[in-house]
């Protein structure tokens, strides 16, 4: 369908958008159709993991990731078009993650999208990866603005109020490591394999979370900021103090680490819930959206659900397949922007860092922001 993206008629027709994602170590493509009521339908999606390529190194190697993205992206586009039984001419817009993330990886999706948009004469939508996560629950159910949002992944941990499409107020952010990074690096220290977060969760199932004493991050500090570097260091010191660690030692330390991360996320989220309730006192059972890869951790989910129950919030999480990086959320974000006549030209840059709330990031930057600070 050929549409003028600046036309007011965009509000009244279904929009079909191809989305591409390559910000870290997952290469993904998806096609989402957004109807006039805001209902999303995923017509096709494909994702290629790079776990085996990065496993020998115990973490993501940016150069390997970028090369793998470039090699497979075109094939995934062909695959999802075939699954949706569509031609590129049937697509209304091309959306791609353009940050934040590993710059070489981000460029793979963005450059592919630019080529497709130019060749097919379709609008390009450069999507903030964090906004994709923020909107991901809307792939499966209706979530109206405003809502409280916890973004928690390997690179990001922050609390925001999603006031409207494209308008976000940051309440707190990580001051050092993200929650997912703390999971991954602790798993690496204990030799649990890659990806570290899921490996740590698996072994923690048989562990005693109360055997090792770990600190609760920012326990005596009010507000909504996070810190996990000290907790990660404490876990490393315990591990190094063990003469010949057994599987039981691994399980107990993993369980203790998981318990403390979950508790910290729940406590800081509870503070944010209280602030949200004071700001929007007329909203009954307000949504508490949790998105990002760490949202797949069951212990974290249970802790956040308990915090929400205590404060009268309703937890909304995307299905597991849309918790981690995926292209369906990028296509949805692209369709939402296109619906509003918002799109980009072919000079749209790839960005290693791109805060979801630029105003808060500028006026109140997270501690250590910059080249070595939190991505957001």
Q: How confident is the model at residue 369 (pLDDT cuts 50, 70, 90)?
A: very low
Per-residue pLDDT at 370: 40
pLDDT tens digits, 158-175:
999 999 998 999 999 999
Share of the chain above pLDDT 90, in %: 71
Average pLDDT over residues 214-233: 93
Q: Which residues of 111-135 are buried (b: 16+ CB within 10 A; e: fewer)?
A: bbbbebbeeeebbbbbbbbbbbbbb
Q: How far is it, in rounded angstroms, from Cα 174 to Cα 177?
A: 6
**What domains lie within the chain, and their CATH numbers?**
8-138+322-352 (3.30.420.40), 143-317 (3.30.420.40)
Give the list of residues 6+ apart from residue 247 with CB closer than 8 angstroms, or none. Answer: 203
**pTM for the model:** 0.86
Q: Are 138 and 126 in contact (CB under 8 A)?
A: no
Residue whose token pair is 């907790």: 231
Give the confidence band of 11 by pLDDT, cuts at 50, 70, 90.
Answer: low
pLDDT value at residue 357: 78
| CB-count exposure of residue 88 (10 Å: 0-12, 13-18, 19+) | middle
- 74-111 confidence digits (pLDDT tens): 999 999 999 999 999 999 999 999 999 889 889 999 99
38-63 confidence digits (pLDDT tens): 899 999 999 988 677 777 777 777 77
pLDDT per position as a tens digit, 276-326 = 999 999 999 999 999 988 988 999 999 999 999 999 999 999 888 898 889
């Amino acid at each position: 369908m050929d549409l003028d993206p600046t036309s007011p008629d965009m509000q009244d027709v279904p929009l079909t958008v191809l989305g591409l994602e390559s910000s870290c170590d997952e290469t993904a493509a998806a096609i989402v159709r957004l109807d006039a009521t805001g209902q999303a339908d995923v017509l096709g999606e494909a994702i290629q993991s790079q776990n085996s390529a990065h496993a020998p190194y115990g973490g993501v190697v940016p150069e390997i990731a970028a090369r793998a993205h470039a090699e497979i992206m075109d094939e995934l586009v062909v695959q999802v078009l075939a699954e949706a039984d569509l031609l590129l001419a049937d697509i209304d817009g091309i959306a791609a993650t353009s940050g934040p993330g590993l710059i070489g990886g981000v460029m793979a999706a963005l450059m592919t999208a630019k080529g497709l948009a130019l060749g097919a004469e379709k609008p390009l939508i450069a999507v903030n990866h964090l906004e994709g996560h923020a909107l991901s629950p809307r792939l499966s159910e209706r979530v109206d603005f405003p809502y409280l949002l916890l973004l928690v992944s390997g690179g990001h941990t922050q609390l925001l109020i999603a006031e409207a499409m494209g308008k976000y107020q940051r309440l707190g952010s990580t001051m050092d490591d993200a929650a997912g990074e703390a999971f991954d690096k602790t798993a690496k220290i204990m030799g649990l394999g890659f990806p570290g977060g899921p490996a740590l969760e698996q072994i923690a199932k048989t562990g005693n979370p109360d055997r090792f004493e770990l600190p609760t991050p920012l326990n005596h500090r009010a507000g909504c900021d996070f810190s996990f570097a000290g907790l990660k260091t404490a876990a490393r010191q315990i591990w190094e103090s063990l003469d010949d660690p057994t599987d039981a030692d691994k399980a107990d330390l993993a369980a203790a680490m998981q318990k403390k991360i979950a508790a910290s996320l729940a406590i800081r989220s509870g503070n944010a819930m209280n602030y949200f309730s004071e700001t929007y006192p007329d909203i009954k059972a307000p949504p508490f959206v949790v998105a990002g890869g760490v949202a797949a951790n069951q212990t974290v989910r249970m802790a956040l659900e308990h915090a929400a129950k205590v404060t009268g919030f309703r937890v909304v999480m995307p299905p597991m397949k849309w918790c981690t990086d995926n292209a369906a959320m990028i296509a949805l974000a692209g369709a939402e922007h296109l619906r509003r006549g918002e799109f980009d030209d072919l000079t749209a840059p790839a960005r290693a860092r791109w805060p979801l709330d630029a105003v808060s990031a500028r006026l109140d930057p997270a501690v250590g922001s910059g080249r070595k600070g939190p991505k957001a």
